[in-house]
């Protein structure tokens, strides 16, 4: 399946793009997708922390299996307000 990956803030800057598409085997987790994103975007490899993630705009753990999610976002700690 094809997953639309969104990157925000510092991660988008490091990757050089705010968005990419990744073909993923079924039953892969959010954490495994992050590994794939970092393979595609070398600029993200220095990121050492576990990113925050959201599947279809809802916060998700790295262990969550991506089933039917069209959009998965990865982002650094938030700093609104």
Partner 1 sequence: MVDRLTRAKIDMEEMRRRVESPECGAVASFSGTVREWNDVRQVLSIDYSGYGPMAEKILEAIEVDLGRRFAGIRIAIVHRLGRLSVGEASLAVVVTAPHRREALEACSEAVESIKARAPIWKKEHYVDGSSWIEAGRCLPSSGKPKTP
Residues that bind partner 1 in the complex, under the rule CB under 8 A:
6-10, 12-14, 16-18, 43, 52, 54, 57-59, 73, 75-81
* Short-list 21, 22, 29, 18, CA closest to 74: 18
Instruction: Choose between 3 and 7: whose C-beta lies nearer to partner 1.
Output: 7
Q: How far is the CB of 79 from partner 1 (least distance, A)?
A: 4
Phi and psi based region of residue 48 (left: phi greater than 0; alpha: psi -120 to 50; beta: remaining): alpha
Instruction: Choose between 31 and 76: whose C-beta lies nearer to partner 1.
Output: 76
Asked if 72 and 54 touch (Cβ cutoff 8 Å), the reply is yes
Instruction: Choose between 25 and 45: whose C-beta lies nearer to partner 1.
Output: 45
């Amino acid at each position: 399946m094809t997953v639309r990956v969104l990157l925000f803030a510092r991660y988008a800057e490091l990757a050089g793009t705010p968005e990419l598409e990744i073909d993923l085997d079924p039953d892969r987790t959010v954490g495994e997708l992050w590994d794939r994103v970092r393979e595609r975007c070398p600029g993200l490899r220095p990121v050492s922390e576990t990113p925050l993630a959201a599947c279809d705009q809802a916060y998700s753990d790295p262990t969550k299996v991506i089933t039917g999610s069209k959009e998965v976002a990865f982002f650094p700690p938030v700093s609104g307000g």
